[in-house]
């Protein structure tokens, strides 16, 4: 599914953001990536969905070396991915429905199918009753759930999330993580970057520990 071979990433000399990372996530895996700030968690995710390129190494997703995909075709890779950013990246001038629908609209999905899928995604995160409100009318946790609904509306094979519970209270953080587990139970491969030890302790199955850009250890529970 996702295979990284000897990934190195350097933003500026002499420091390495990632150093010799080799990592594999199989279909249906649920991985936590953790480590202190500056350990390379976000860089690792950005390399997987190819927002940035590694300095060296290979990235194989579904048997294809994604570094060989031309920039103008990278959208084909991301069709199979749902990405939850740390800052959500919601469109505050558009209503909740349109924020979730935008992915399907770009892909040219028929309007009737868009309405059905968006409603299903919002119902899964318990926000279908707020689909005609604007993000500014929602709580922080509700905005996070909109971001998750948008990530899953295209039924992706891979979900990547960067500190998705970073500013939430513990109860809401557990609720959000339960949503990711439900998505995973439907067959998606999920990789979540977090520093929240309590969430890792409660939900962790496979854990990748990073420290100063290197793999400190892997745990499979």
pLDDT band at 80 (very low <50, low <70, confident <90, very high): confident
What is the rounded average pLDDT for all residues in the chain? 91
More confident residue, 77 or 112: 112
pLDDT tens, residue by residue, 55-72: 999 999 998 999 999 988
pLDDT tens, residue by residue, 14-26: 889 999 999 999 9
Q: Structural domain boundaries of the chain?
A: 28-51+72-220
pLDDT tens, residue by residue, 147-174: 989 998 988 899 999 998 877 788 888 8
Residue 204 has pLDDT above 80, yes or no: yes
Distances from the Cα of 144 to the Cαs of 42, 90, 131, 156, in angstroms? Answer: 18, 9, 14, 18
Residue 116 has pLDDT above 80, yes or no: yes
The architecture that CATH gives domain 28-51+72-220 is 3-Layer(aba) Sandwich (3.40)
């Amino acid at each position: 599914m996702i295979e990284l071979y000897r990934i190195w990433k350097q933003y500026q000399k002499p420091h390495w953001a990632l150093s010799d990372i080799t990592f594999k996530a199989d279909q249906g895996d649920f991985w936590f990536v953790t480590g202190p700030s500056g350990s390379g968690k976000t860089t690792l995710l950005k390399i997987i969905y190819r927002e940035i390129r590694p300095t060296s190494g290979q990235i194989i997703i579904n048997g294809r070396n994604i570094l060989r995909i031309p920039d103008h075709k990278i959208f084909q890779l991301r069709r199979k991915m749902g990405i939850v950013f740390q800052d959500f990246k919601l469109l505050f001038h558009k209503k909740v429905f349109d924020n979730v629908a935008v992915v399907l609209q770009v892909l040219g999905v028929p309007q009737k199918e868009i309405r059905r899928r968006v409603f299903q995604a919002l119902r899964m995160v318990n926000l279908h009753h707020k689909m005609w409100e604007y993000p500014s009318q929602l709580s922080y946790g509700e905005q996070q759930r909109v971001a998750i609904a948008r990530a899953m509306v295209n039924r992706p094979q891979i979900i990547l999330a960067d500190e998705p519970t970073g500013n939430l209270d513990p109860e809401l953080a557990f609720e959000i993580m339960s949503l990711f587990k439900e998505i995973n139970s439907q067959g998606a491969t999920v990789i979540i970057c977090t520093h929240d030890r309590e969430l890792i302790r409660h939900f962790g199955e496979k854990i990748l520990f990073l420290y100063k850009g290197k793999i400190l250890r892997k745990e499979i529970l």
